[in-house]
Amino acid sequence: MNPGADRGEFRKPAKVRARGQLFRKYVTLFAAVVAVALIASSAIDTWFSYLEQRALLIRMQQQQAETAATRISQFIKEIESQMGWLTQTPWDNNSLEEWQFDSVRLLRQVPAITELARIDATGHERARVSRIAVDVVGTRTDVSRDPMFVQAMANKRYHGPIYFRRESEPYMTLAIAGSRPGYGVVAGEVNLKFIWDLVSEMRLGMQGTAFVVDSAARLIAHSDISLVLRNIDLSHLAHVQAARISDAPEQGTIAKSINGQSVLTASAPVPSLGWTLFIELPVREAYAPLYASVLRSGALLLAALVLAVLAGIFLARRMIVPIRVLRDGAARIGRGDLTQRISIDTGDELQALGDQFNSMAEQLQDLYSTLERKVEQRTAQLELANQAKSRFLAAASHDLRQPLHALGLFVAQLRESAGVKERSHIVDRVDAAIATMNDLFNALLDISKLDAGALAPKLSDFPIRQVLRRIETTFAGAAREKGLSFRIIPSDAWVRSDSILLERILLNLISNAIRYTQSGGIVVGCRKRDAWLRIEVCDTGRGIPEDQHQKIFGEFYRAGEAHQGTGLGLGLAIVDRLCGLLGHPIQLASKVGRGSRFTVMVPAVQPTGKAVDAVPVAPVAIDRFRDKLIVVVDDDPLVLDGMSSLLRSWGCRVLTAATGDGAIDDIIRQGSVPDLIVSDYRLPEGQTGFHVIAKLRGAFKTDIPAFVISGDINAEPLQVARQNGFHLLHKPVAPMTLRAMLNRMLKSDNVAAPTAPS
Amino acid sequence: MRRRAIFRLIAGAPLLSWARAASTQPALKTVGVLIALPETDPSVSARVAGFETGLREFGWSAARNIQLRYRFAEDTAQLPRLAGELVASAPDVLVASSGIVAAALLRHTRTIPIVFVTTSDPIGDGLVTSLARPDGNVTGFTNSLSTMGGKWVELLKQAVPDMSRVGMIFNPDTAPGGGSYFLASFEEAAKSNALRGDTLPVRTREEIEPTLTTLGRAPGPGLIVVPDNFSALHRDLIIAQATKQRIPAIYPFRYFAAEGGFMSYGVDLPDLYKRTASYVDRLLKGAKVIDLPVQASSRLHLVINLRAAKALGLTLSRTMLARADEILE
């Protein structure tokens, strides 16, 4: 057998069976309990009623038997005593008529006697009176040897055997001796049909019989006369035998009757005759009421069982139906139908359970809908972010297009115009456009860096004073030019932050303030509140409407419809991101026409040690670039051309390599070691500037200073540069930035060279 | 079986009893009763009443579970026709009022059980071969032993001591043994009582009057009327003629004395009808004839009609009066 298939087959019916099991269990249990109780009670009841019925029957039969036996006995005794009157005197022929008269009267009084005979003391029959035959007198028939006479004389009375006249008339000779031996004997022929009448008149149920047997167990009388006529010997019957043996035989035994029927018997001796009277009642009839009661009990039991099963079904249904409702409800909830509610109205624990299920489902549903709402919100947020990104890109490209467009126009102008003065004017304008673009790219780069998480704040404790001082230096001139008052309230507080990034935040805020303030001034102050230092930048600008308070932190937001041309619209976006990065809450309080106040909350700390001032920027020394050999690698010929022109104008020697290994090999071949390598980041054939630098360094076996310029806006080159310890500039690189980097690279080279142990 | 019983119990008693009543309706038992006397005969109502009372004692009621078809013959000549009719109606049991009636029925059926109410000599008349075990389809009750012939003579002589001549009237065609059944004991008793005993056979009603007239002319006459359907049918005439001719007569049944006869000694006929009912009951319940022996009646009644005695100018002895079971004033 395949065990897998077997299991598969087995599982299904098991599940089906499990469905109705509880129900069937309840019904079966209920029915069984009721059935056991009923069966037990009716069995006990039946048993006791059987005993009672039996006892009653036996008692009744016994009484009937005794009554009948007594009546028979009395009947015979009556005959005997009547006959006794005829033997009061000895036989005397002279009193024949008198005796005849007495006899006739006796016959009249005792119908059972058919004939009477008078026997004298010598055993001679002297007279005979008959109902059916002619009376006989004057005879002297000798009966002295007759057992009748002998026994009557000996025992005072004689009961002869049963004999039949005319085949069908049972008779017995009854003889009574006189009170004295000389009185002789009176013999009567007694028709025992009177006993039979007596026996057959007994009411013994439908099929009950009574019979009388003599001492020899011969049938004397029976309800069925035909049996008597057959002169039957009944000594073989068990109860007859028992009665013959014992004086007080057990009553109510069950025995076989003459015709083989099972009968309940009772017997009573007929006093003084040695006869026994039996009463037989067929067992079937005797116990008929019992059978009926058993049947009745059975029917009742059946009815009760049916009732019990019905009640069981009813109760089990009451129990099971709510359980099934629970199960189905739970199953539906399990399948995810959380609107499902279980409706049980039984008012018991099951209802409570159902209610529990319902509240559980409700909570699940709440949770589920909360989750759904959150997912929806997130999706909406993502969508919004996406849209913002798109908007950002559109805005950024628009803002880049403007200076580009301007540049195009200026270049065209340059070609046309020949005047030196005019040219220098145009070049100034070109510078300005480039500066704008540069600013824009720097800002974009900042945002990109912040969004990419590439900027890791370096937290340190420092006095806020340092930052404030630098800001003052930076903006004092600009504010003065615009005719604004600019005041910084000094503070001795220390804060925990990244000083560079915090400075950037404040720079942005203050440059914004100066930009949007036409009159009045700007105040920067610090306030300590609990664990925070609130750095406030207040201006007297035009203020920001309430509904714009959030929007101003978005990219490319510019206050007011009119484009001022000076702002990029990225300042506050950067501020917002930086504050988020540093964990400095930023607040805005502003009213249109009443100025604005930006508050940056910085964690305040206890002053610790000595403040380290930022390294001042060294003055630029042009001479440093003189005759330096600089290798420029870029796959764009235009860039190569621009870069080499610019570097040569600064007095550098320039070697350019357009692409790939060939150009690099040329540089290596020319022999002299370059002072600086400037390479584009992304080069053809999957190469990067780092490869080129590494190759050149390898070729010249020296750690030539180098930096990379990248046109990519994403964070990857920056990360790679950091990992390799390179500096990276982003295109477009302003000439000033380039110069600053050159300065830095070559200076460190100069400084490093003498200190290096060579 | 038990299951059916249980079903019955469940089905409910009212339905059950109704069903039982309906089912027993067709099982109505029928009993044909042929009585060789006119329906108007004064003794008929007593016979019918005795029979029906007996049946009622065994639970048979004409209104409920038994149908009794009576036929009455005004003349023995009608018996064959009526017997044929009754047998043709196929009753469950037939009842014959006397031996000749049973014989008439027996000529038409050997299967339907026949119970005769009374007869004297069923073996001699060929109705049965054994009294204890009747092996045909006939059984019943006897009234008088043959010795009764002598007994009647003795009783009549005791009542009328100066009787010197006794006659026994019978119809040789209907009397037991053609009249011979009682003859021996009759003649013996006549002899022992020093009487002249005469047999008086009569075959028709018309012969009764001359016969009794002749007997009445003799000195000290006495008359024995034997149990015979003929004498029962014509008892009015016999009693009237006996009275007219001043003949003391003894009859076999009480109703003779009740209707003016001097005395009667014999069985109690209504009692025999009741006992007949007991045999009818057993036969209807399925008993076989062979199990029902021919029974003799054990009760003999002596009835004396004192008015008739006075009319005859008789004075009855103390012994005689003591002997009488019933004295009709």
pLDDT in tens, B289-325: 988 889 887 788 999 999 999 999 998 888 788 888 8
Q: Taking the CB of residue B134, how many other CB atoms lie within 10 A of it? A: 25
- What string of DSSP letters covers A257-297? -TTS-EEEEEEEEETTTTEEEEEEEEHHHHTHHHHHHHHHH
Residue A521 lies in a domain: yes
3-class DSSP assignment, residue A626: coil
- H helices of A611-734, where? 637-649, 660-670, 689-700, 716-724
Q: Give the β-pairing of B114-119 and B263-267.
A: unpaired
Banded model confidence at residue B103, pLDDT cuts 50, 70, 90: very high
Please indicate if any CB of chain B lies within 8 Å of the CB of A133. yes
Banded model confidence at residue B2, pLDDT cuts 50, 70, 90: very low
Q: What is the mean pLDDT of residues A215-237?
A: 78
Instruction: Using a pLDDT cut of 70, give the percent of chain A over it.
Output: 90
On chain B, the residues whose CB falls within 8 A of the CB of A101 are 318-319, 322
Task: For residue A682, give its domain range.
Answer: 622-755
Element (H, E) at A711: none
Number of folded domains that form chain A = 4
Q: Using the 3D structure, point to which of A136, A162, A191 is the last residue of a domain.
A: A191
Task: Examine the pLDDT at B114 and tell me if it is beyond 90.
Answer: yes
Lowest mean pLDDT among A22-36, A320-334, A617-631, A653-667: A617-631
CA angle A658, A663, A668 (to 5 degrees): 135
pLDDT (tens digit, 9 = 90+) per residue, A51-94?
888 888 888 888 888 888 888 888 888 888 888 888 887 777 77
Residue A276 lies in a domain: no
Residue A558 lies in a domain: yes
pLDDT at res. A192 = 85
Banded model confidence at residue B12, pLDDT cuts 50, 70, 90: very low
The domain that contains A102 carries what CATH number?
A: 3.30.450.20
Sheet holding A113-119, edge to edge: A136-142, A124-130, A113-119, A185-191, A169-177, A157-165
pLDDT at res. A339 = 81
Q: Which two tokens stand for residue A230?
A: 């057959």
Please indicate if any CB of chain B lies within 8 Å of the CB of A384. no
- Angstrom CA distances, A603 to A456, A490, A505, B89, stand at 18, 17, 15, 138
φ, ψ at A502 (rounded to 5°): -60, -40
Do A425 and A471 fall into the same domain? no
DSSP β-bridge partners for residue B201: B170
Do A549 and A468 fall into the same domain? yes
Using CB atoms, which residue from A194, A229, A296 is nearest to B293?
Answer: A229
Do A131 and A97 fall into the same domain? yes
Task: Examine the pLDDT at A495 and tell me if it is beyond 60.
Answer: yes
The per-residue pLDDT of chain A, averaged, comes to 80
φ, ψ at B298 (rounded to 5°): -95, -10
Evaluate the omega torsion of the peptide bond into residue A732 and state whether it is cis, within 30 degrees of 0: yes
Do A583 and A695 fall into the same domain? no
Do A571 and A652 fall into the same domain? no
The domain that contains A390 carries what CATH number?
A: 1.10.287.130
φ, ψ at A67 (rounded to 5°): -60, -50
Q: What is the mean pLDDT of residues A685-706?
A: 84
Task: Examine the pLDDT at A301 and tell me if it is beyond 60.
Answer: yes
pLDDT at res. A288 = 82
Do A591 and A468 fall into the same domain? yes
In this prediction the ipTM stands at 0.81
Q: What is the mean pLDDT of residues B207-227?
A: 93
Do A534 and A664 fall into the same domain? no
Largest CA distance in chain B: 84
Do A740 and A645 fall into the same domain? yes
Q: Rounded CA gap, A374 and A366, in Å?
A: 12
On chain A, the residues whose CB falls within 8 A of the CB of B147 are 130, 132-134
Residue A307 lies in a domain: no
Residue type (1 letter), A335 = R
According to DSSP, residue B180 is labeled T
pLDDT at res. B104 = 94
Half-sphere exposure of B138 (CA within 13 A, CB side): 30
Do A535 and A413 fall into the same domain? no
pLDDT at res. A609 = 64
pLDDT at res. A374 = 93
pLDDT (tens digit, 9 = 90+) per residue, A180-192?
878 889 999 998 8
Do A465 and A588 fall into the same domain? yes
Q: Mean pLDDT: which of A415-419, A608-612, B28-32 is highest?
A: B28-32
Q: Do B296 and A108 touch (CB under 8 A)?
A: no
Residue A350 lies in a domain: no
Instruction: Using a pLDDT cut of 90, give the percent of chain A over it.
Output: 5
Q: Rounded CA gap, A155 and A545, in Å?
A: 157
Q: Rounded CA gap, A433 and A456, in Å?
A: 32
Lowest mean pLDDT among A686-690, B219-223, B269-273: A686-690
Element (H, E) at B247: none
Do A601 and A463 fall into the same domain? yes
Task: Examine the pLDDT at A250 and tell me if it is beyond 60.
Answer: yes
pLDDT at res. B23 = 46
Contact B241, B213 (CB under 8 A): yes
Q: Taking the CB of residue A57, how many other CB atoms lie within 10 A of it? A: 20
The per-residue pLDDT of chain B, averaged, comes to 88
Pick from B295, B318, B325, B327 the residue to mutate for testing the A interface (most A CBs within 10 Å). B295
The domain that contains A698 carries what CATH number?
A: 3.40.50.2300
The domain that contains A516 carries what CATH number?
A: 3.30.565.10
Pick from A114, A202, A207, A226 the residue to mutate for testing the B interface (most B CBs within 10 Å). A226
Domains in chain B, please, with CATH?
Answer: 28-143+268-299 (3.40.50.2300), 148-252 (3.40.50.2300)
Task: Examine the pLDDT at A1 and tell me if it is beyond 70.
Answer: no
Q: Do B319 and A230 touch (CB under 8 A)?
A: no
pLDDT at res. A568 = 61
Q: Using the 3D structure, point to which of A405, A437, A454 is the last residue of a domain.
A: A454
Q: Higher-confidence residue: B50 or A98?
A: B50
Q: Which two tokens stand for residue A308?
A: 């019990």
Please indicate if any CB of chain A lies within 8 Å of the CB of B191. no
pLDDT (tens digit, 9 = 90+) per residue, A286-300?
778 778 888 888 888
Residue A717 lies in a domain: yes
Do A475 and A585 fall into the same domain? yes
Q: Give the β-pairing of A275-282 and A209-213.
A: antiparallel
Which of B 9-28 lie inside 8 A of A, CB atoms?
9-10
pLDDT at res. B172 = 92
Q: Which two tokens stand for residue A425?
A: 């004017």
Residue A263 lies in a domain: no
Q: Rounded CA gap, B138 and B142, in Å?
A: 12
How many angstroms away from the CA of B130 is the closest CA of chain A?
8
Task: Examine the pLDDT at B236 and tell me if it is beyond 70.
Answer: yes
On chain B, the residues whose CB falls within 8 A of the CB of A107 are 323
Q: Using the 3D structure, point to which of A174, A191, A208 is the last residue of a domain.
A: A191
pLDDT at res. B255 = 92
Residue A233 lies in a domain: no
Banded model confidence at residue A567, pLDDT cuts 50, 70, 90: low
Please indicate if any CB of chain A lies within 8 Å of the CB of B147. yes
| Residue B272 C-alpha from the chain's centroid | 8
